[in-house]
Amino acid sequence: MASRAVASKVPSWLEPLKKWAYNASGFNRYGLLHDDCLYEYDDVKEAIRRLPPDVLHARNFRIIRAMQLEIQHDVLPKEQWTKFEDDVRYLEPYLEEVRKEIAEKQEWEKNH
């Protein structure tokens, strides 16, 4: 278990580069989170469908607000930008679950 934590840890020199790339992407200026910007292929669509209603509502609000700001050629005030440290990968557990189910289904179909 300890070796897994060490293996998944990002080298310290890479952290500033990740922050720079995060800020350079621009989606944080609209208050969006990383998972709000994922391309919605089938796995992602299913993961979004499984979100709890409050998380889905917050996601939809962020996306609609971002679209409105983009239409107005504006961004949020800097104090409202999403910070790198505050960005949560809220969709990841659901996406992982969907991918495991798909792999299990493919394995089942292959054997039957």
Residue boundaries of the structural domains of the chain = 14-111
Q: What is the second-level CATH architecture of the domain 14-111?
A: Orthogonal Bundle (1.10)
pTM given for the model: 0.82
Q: Of 8 and 98, which is predicted with more confidence?
A: 98
66, 31 contact by CB (below 8 A): yes
Q: Which residue has the tokens 């961004």?
A: 75
What DSSP line would sit under 60-74, residue for residue? Answer: HHHHHHHHHHHHTT-
Four-residue CA torsion sign, 43, 49, 51, 56: positive
Cα separation, 31 vs 76, whole angstroms: 7
Predicted confidence (pLDDT) per residue in 17-38, tens digit: 999 999 999 999 999 999 999 9
- Average pLDDT of every residue of the chain: 91
Alpha helices in 1-112, H assignment, sequence order: 2-8, 15-25, 42-49, 53-71, 92-111
Mean pLDDT of 98-110: 93
Residue 12's pLDDT band, with cuts at 50, 70 and 90, is confident
